[in-house]
Amino acid sequence: MEPRGGGASGRARPASSAVLRLAVLGAAPLARGLYLPGFSPVEYQTGDPVDLKVNKLTSVKTQLPYSYYTLPYCRPDKIQASVENLGETLMGDVIENSPYQIQMLKNETCKLLCEQKLTETEKDKFRSMIEDEYLVNWILDNLPAATRYRRPSGAFTYMDGFLVGLMQHSHYYIHNHVTLDLQYHQSPEKFEGYRIVGFEVEPRSTTGPDIQAACSEGTQAFDLESSDVIRFTYSVRWTESDVRWASRWDAYKKMTGGQIHWFAILNSLLILLFLSGMVAMILLRTLHRDITQYNEVATAEEAREETGWKLVHGDVFRRPRHSTLFAVSVGSGMQVLGMSVVTLFFAMLGLLSPAHRGSLLQTMMLLFTLMGVLAGYTSARFCKVFDGDEARWKCTTLVTAFLYPGLFFTTFFMLNLLIWGVKSSGAVPFTTLFALLVLWFGVSVPLVF
């Protein structure tokens, strides 16, 4: 039997369908005009200024980043820091302007940047940075600087950034001259101007009586012990490339650091598979022995004496000890799992591009906060399964909201104090810590309940 008002609803369907079509047509221009931050190409004209920005100094030995101007490098008239998102702040990025003057398609040869007189304290900073193999990180047109190396096989590999200097035979040599190798791509039939598709740096350590002598081939390296005055120079070389703007990040996939990271992941997976195989073999042998003994038992009395699981078959449905902690752990695990799955989904869609710095970490933080719903539901559901009353599941949900996030935040806060004590740029400012607390208490905790 058709319900009353069916004719009215049938007449309403064409109207609602028309409204839906109008909404889709109205959203079409917005969809064409939408772009994600860091994804829009920039077309330069001949002579246009190209900004070179400096980022943190990093080391694989100490894992403590420092601001670029911690060392006595050449400074602009006024240092201006770029606006950073939550992910960049948590990673310790300090992106600032630089005094390098670069113009589109204008080559430069051995241009003087500045001369610095080094004090003994500044020399000690250079020595410490060189010993710890610190890398200088630059950014140009949203591309990080890369250094190209040739392997013995003849193939090229890339390293993110370039070394502050080298230490050989107890002597310290500073890289005070850089050649900026910039690649550009042009396609007059598709766009006007030029797009930057490559940014490589060739660092050198040079010294000489004048600029031209210092930049010539075969010059002596600048020894930190030989002079108190250091001269910083740079050259710019523009070359045309067939690489399209959409493929300009492909070269960074060949970086040495990324390969080491993949080896670590592969090693962890192999260890996990090995341990899982051992546990599976032990379980199979135990089950096989119990099943064999069960089949050989003649009487029920012998079965009760010799078969262990028949003695505890009623305990399977009994509430386990520390059931609240178990439910909280499962709920927090589901929160991390949900965050990981959604993050991988966004990454596969290409929404977490490396061009948008800090987007991965920021997305993970926000998703972890929103997945508090999943954590609260899972822990409360497990508490109900264990015959928990209303007071128990509320207590379980409360513990879920504060236990593991509280442990992580306390550990993070203590480590941040230590990093702040060594004046590293990796120390998170207290304003960011306050923002994390707002996300925790203002968003995550209510969602858990």
Higher pLDDT, 211 or 186: 186
pLDDT at 349 over 70: yes
Helical ranges in 34-141 per DSSP H: 86-90, 120-131
pLDDT for residue 157? 78
233: which strand partners?
112, 177
> For 58-62, what is the mean pLDDT?
88
pLDDT for residue 3? 38
Three-class SS of residue 72? Answer: coil
What confidence category does residue 289 fall into, taking pLDDT thresholds of 50, 70 and 90? confident
pLDDT at 73 over 70: yes
Task: Give the list of residues 6+ apart from residue 365 with CB closer than 8 angstroms, or none.
Answer: 86, 87, 90, 436, 439
pLDDT cut 90: percent of the chain above it: 45
- Please report how the helices 323-348 and 359-370 are oriented relative to each other, as an axis angle in degrees rounded to 10: 140
> For 49-77, what is the mean pLDDT?
92
pLDDT at 317 over 60: yes
pLDDT for residue 309? 57
Contacts 24+ apart (CB under 8 A), 59-63: 59/129, 59/132, 59/133, 59/134, 59/135, 60/133, 60/257, 61/132, 61/133, 62/132
16 close to 10: Cβ distance less than 8 angstroms: no
Break the chain into its structural domains and give their ranges.
49-254, 256-314, 322-449
| C-alpha–C-alpha distance, residues 162 and 237, integer Å | 17
Helix (H), strand (E) at residue 415: helix 390-421
385 close to 324: Cβ distance less than 8 angstroms: no
Amino acid occupying residue 410: T
Higher pLDDT, 18 or 152: 152
pLDDT at 383 over 90: no
What confidence category does residue 172 fall into, taking pLDDT thresholds of 50, 70 and 90? very high
Higher pLDDT, 118 or 392: 118
pLDDT for residue 30? 36
What confidence category does residue 124 fall into, taking pLDDT thresholds of 50, 70 and 90? very high
Burial 294-315 (b: 16+ CB within 10 A, else e): eeeeeeeeeeeeeeeeeeeeee
> For 354-383, what is the mean pLDDT?
90
What confidence category does residue 22 fall into, taking pLDDT thresholds of 50, 70 and 90? very low
Q: List, for residues 222-235, the tens digit of each pLDDT value.
A: 888 888 899 999 99
The DSSP-derived string for 331-349 is HHHHHHHHHHHHHHHHHHT
From 21-30, 90-99, 429-438, the region with the lowest mean pLDDT: 21-30
Mean pLDDT, all residues of the chain: 82
Name the pTM for this structure. 0.75
